[in-house]
Amino acid sequence: MKNLTSYHLKIIAMITMVIDHSCKIFSLLLIQFLGFLENQNVVYCTYYFIEGIGRISFILFAFMIAEGCRHTHDIQKYVGRLLLFALISEFPFQWMISIITGTSFAFSLTMTNIFFTLALGAIAIAGYQFFLQKALKKWIPLILCSLVSLLIQCDYHIFGVITIFICYYFQDNKKKKFIFNNTYGYSIFNL
């Protein structure tokens, strides 16, 4: 079997992201469409199954951000581009949320888009790299970025930032991988 490349992972992530976003946008229509079923558990199981497929995209994006941090020549520019995309995409994100929820548009940074999560994960990795030789200081960027994710209510919150960091932290060290795989029973690193 041919190995998956980053190109293949990006295609899979985009497809699953479209499924996730479609599920969110059309969830009311889906529930109404399946509402003819007498067993409402089938309706909600169908919804959560489709949403579950969509959640694969975040794991793939987290892995690719971690790999991007590992292989970039300039991590500051990499983080800067992520922050730029976060800011550019925030207005359309807020506008779409107001349409979906049926509320009037009010710009607020108390619920931000996924690019903020990706940027905070990359910032945590950059800080970890910067303080790598300092025993305790190297964990401060991860803690701060996790707290900021809670403050600005970005997608996946603290779990998103930590997932990105875990993808980076466990990638090269076989001992860490062994402990992680035996603790959780699976690996996202052997895609």
Q: What share of the chain is helix, strand, coil (3-state, %, to 5)?
A: 75, 0, 25
Do the domain assignments include residue 128?
yes
Torsion of CA 92, 94, 100, 101, to 10 degrees: -170
Do the domain assignments include residue 83?
yes
Residues 22-41 have pLDDT tens digits of 877 777 666 666 666 566 67
Do the domain assignments include residue 97?
yes
pLDDT of residue 68: 93
Whether 65 and 121 have beta carbons less than 8 Å apart is answered as: yes
Do the domain assignments include residue 1?
no
Do the domain assignments include residue 190?
no
DSSP 154: B
| Residue 18 scores a pLDDT above 50 | yes
How many degrees, rounded to 5, is the angle at CA 116 between CA 115 and CA 120? 115
pLDDT category at 132 given cuts 50, 70, 90 is: confident
pLDDT category at 188 given cuts 50, 70, 90 is: very low
Q: What is the three-state SS of 33-93?
A: HHHHCCCHHHHHHHHHHHHHHHHHHHHHHHHHHHHHHHHCCCHHHHHHHHHHHHHHHHHHH
Domain count of the fold of the chain: 1
pLDDT category at 150 given cuts 50, 70, 90 is: very high
Do the domain assignments include residue 24?
yes
Residues 54-103 have pLDDT tens digits of 888 999 999 999 999 999 999 999 999 999 999 999 888 888 878 777 77
Range of the domain at 172: 6-184
pLDDT of residue 30: 67
Nearest residue to 50 via CA among 79, 73, 71, 27: 27
pLDDT of residue 40: 67
pLDDT category at 52 given cuts 50, 70, 90 is: confident
pLDDT category at 177 given cuts 50, 70, 90 is: low
Residues 152-171 have pLDDT tens digits of 888 888 999 999 999 999 88
How many degrees, rounded to 5, is the angle at CA 113 between CA 121 and CA 165? 15
